[in-house]
Amino acid sequence: MNASAAGSSGPIVVAGAGYAGLHVALRLAAKLRSQPAVELTLVDRHDYHQVITELPRVAGGTRAADAVRIPLQDMLAGRVRFVQAEITGFDLAGRRLLTGAGPIGWSRLVLALGSRPSDFAIPGLADRALSVYSASDAERVWAAVSAALMAAAAAADPGRQRRLATVVVGGGGATGVELAGELAEILPAMASDRGLAPGRPAVQLVEAGPAILAGSSAQLTGKAARILSDLGVQVRTNAVVAAATEDGFRLTDGQLVEGGVFVWAGGVKAPELVADSGLPTGHNGRVKVDRYLRVLDHPEIYVAGDLASVTDPRTGHVLPPLAQVALEEGETVARNLDAELEGKPLEAFTFHDKGFVVSVGTRRGVADIAGITTGGRLAHLLKDAIEWEYRQSVRHLRGWDPAAW
Ligand SMILES: Cc1cc2nc3c(=O)[nH]c(=O)nc-3n(C[C@H](O)[C@H](O)[C@H](O)COP(=O)(O)OP(=O)(O)OC[C@H]3O[C@@H](n4cnc5c(N)ncnc54)[C@H](O)[C@@H]3O)c2cc1C
């Protein structure tokens, strides 16, 4: 498709400075050095970018929350105008983003607002369980675990002590597995520090489906389950949470899973404000896009990251909410915005799967890369390398030369 008909040199606004939005802004900032008239604005509620893939380490106390908050001023070249504001809605007809800092007009808008944890309307869940979707969330998990262990150490009744020292994680996807592994590895030392027997704390992982890491190969799932078992995590599969009460997670079969801390990692959905936007949405409220990542019937709006509902033509399935997908989509959106400015053809999005890596505890992990499944120390090193490489790439993009693009 040739973009010249849609060509525009008006303001470009990127909503969200996460994996997708930051990538679009950094790529475009460099490209627009030769287009000084085009205004590029990035909007986020925070003045920092969060390395969300490292949050389980913050929740487990092995990484400081500030270490996963990267100040945007350290990353954005002067070419990008940054506005720190809460985005509250969209004026699609007037082409304005509505924010706490006032409306921001756009000629092209990029929506990259990520996801919110989904409680699937399970009664009590939102009030009773913590989540891990921001550095502050992860800090709260760490603080709650720490407080629960202190309370357990002070409890005289062994039953009460056992219950308080148990962390229950709901959802056996990658986030739940990483969190459960991290906590299981760290809890014995934490318990000792608080005067509790190192063997007293327990971690339970509750998964509604028949296996953890749904969608992965049986080999990968088996390796992850073995490491979790080795760490003492009790994994309950086919365990569907019906309600969260003061006493614990009540399963559909009537069983009560008791604990001192409850964390929900059971799934995500699009932010609520998108549901009220009038934009076409699909599964989990994600926005439907065409092959160029433009909203259906709104070619002036692109979507990238978790918020985009993109079907992989090779599998027929919607791509999962993953950082690597968000980065690739951000790349395509930046290229297409540039193509519009240059009057060149737009590029259809194609996902190049680099594989799947999950850490399980502080030393081991599992990985499926290029058809090879591995579990153990190597997979954990791979995860470390991916996170290190991501941080390097962000730094590199700031001073990046578009001539090499
Ligand atoms: C604990 C955890 C671990 C994960 N680990 C992995 C992993 O190992 N590998 C992997 O590939 N993926 C992983 N993911 C998934 C990955 O983090 C997401 O797919 C990725 O963050 C999506 O990028 P995004 O740009 O769409 O959204 P985000 O990175 O979430 O960015 C969205 C941005 O929009 C901003 N925003 C949202 N709403 C508003 C508003 N109303 N006003 C202003 N600003 C707003 C937010 O502040 C944020 O900066 C993990 C997710 C979690 C929760």
Distance from the Cα of residue 109 to its chain's centroid: 22
**389 contact partners, CB below 8 Å, separation of at least 6:** none
| Contact assessment for residue 244 and residue 122, using Cβ atoms and an 8 Å cutoff | yes
State the pLDDT confidence band at 39, using cuts at 50, 70 and 90: very high
Q: Which of 230, 267, 233 is nearest to 375 (CA)?
A: 230
| 321 CA distance to ligand 1 middle (Å) | 9
Mutate to test the pocket of ligand 1, among 51, 90, 179, 322 (most ligand atoms within 8 A of CB): 322
How far is ligand 1, taken at its centre, from the CA of residue 298, in Å? 24
Q: Which residue from 13, 19, 58, 90 has its CB within 8 A of the most atoms of ligand 1, so it is best to mutate?
A: 19
Residue 277, helix vs strand vs coil: coil
Work out the number of other CB atoms within 10 angstroms of the CB of residue 241: 27
Residue bearing the CA closest to ligand 1, atom 21: 323
pLDDT at 333: 98
**pLDDT digits 0-9 by tens, 127-177:** 999 999 999 999 999 999 999 999 999 999 999 999 999 999 999 999 999
Write the residue with the smallest CA distance to atom 8 of ligand 1: 53
Burial of 233 (0-12, 13-18, 19+ CB in 10 A): buried
Note whether 170 and 263 are within 8 A (CB).
yes
Q: Are strands 364-369 and 108-111 parallel, antiparallel or unpaired?
A: unpaired
- Least confident residue range of 28-42, 45-59, 328-342: 28-42
| Residue 321 contacts residue 268 (beta carbons within 8 Å) | yes
Beta bridge partners of 373: 368
Whether residue 348 has pLDDT greater than 80: yes
Distances (CA, A) of 115 to 19, 21, 67, 302: 12, 13, 22, 16
The answer, yes or no, to whether any atom of ligand 1 lies below 6 A from the CB of 272, is no
Ligand 1 centroid distance, CA of 35 (Å): 30
Report DSSP letters for 212-226, one per residue.
SSTTS-HHHHHHHHH
pLDDT at 261 over 50: yes
Can you tell me the distance from the alpha carbon of 313 to that of 181, in angstroms, rounded to the nearest whole number?
A: 34
- Ligand 1 proximity of 17 Cβ (cutoff 6 Å): yes
Q: Give residue 195 CA to ligand 1 midpoint distance, Å.
A: 37
Taking the C-alpha atoms of residue 67 and residue 241, their distance in angstroms, rounded to an integer, is 33
CB count within 10 Å of CB 261 equals 24
Q: Whose CA is nearest to atom 15 of ligand 1?
A: 322
For residue 4, the model assigns a pLDDT of 41
Checking if the pLDDT of 216 tops 90, the result is yes
CA 49 to ligand 1 centroid distance, Å:
10
Q: Which two tokens stand for residue 117?
A: 């944890």
Distance 253 CA to ligand 1 centre (A): 33
Q: How far are the Cα atoms of 18, 110, 355 from residue 386, in angstroms, in the given order?
A: 17, 26, 11
Q: 3-state DSSP call for residue 97?
A: strand
Strand boundaries in 199-355, DSSP class E: 202-206, 234-236, 241-244, 248-251, 256-258, 261-264, 268-269, 287-288, 294-295, 298-303, 308-309
Instruction: State whether the beta carbon of 44 lies less than 6 angstroms from ligand 1.
Output: yes
The pLDDT value recorded for residue 357 is 96
Tokens of 27: 């790529």
Mean of pLDDT over the chain: 93
Average pLDDT over every residue of 370-398: 90
Alpha carbon of 30 to ligand 1 centroid (Å): 23
What's the alpha-carbon Rg for the chain, to the nearest Å? 22
Query: What's the burial of 242, exposed, middle or buried (CB within 10 Å: 0-12/13-18/19+)?
Result: middle
Task: Give the pLDDT confidence score for residue 40 in this predicted structure.
Answer: 95
Cα–Cα nearest to 12, from 344, 336, 323, 291: 336
Q: Stretch 281-291: mean pLDDT, rounded?
A: 95
Q: Is the pLDDT of residue 6 over 60?
A: no
Q: Take atom 3 of ligand 1 and give the residue whose Cα is closest.
A: 53
Q: What pLDDT sits at residue 399? A: 58
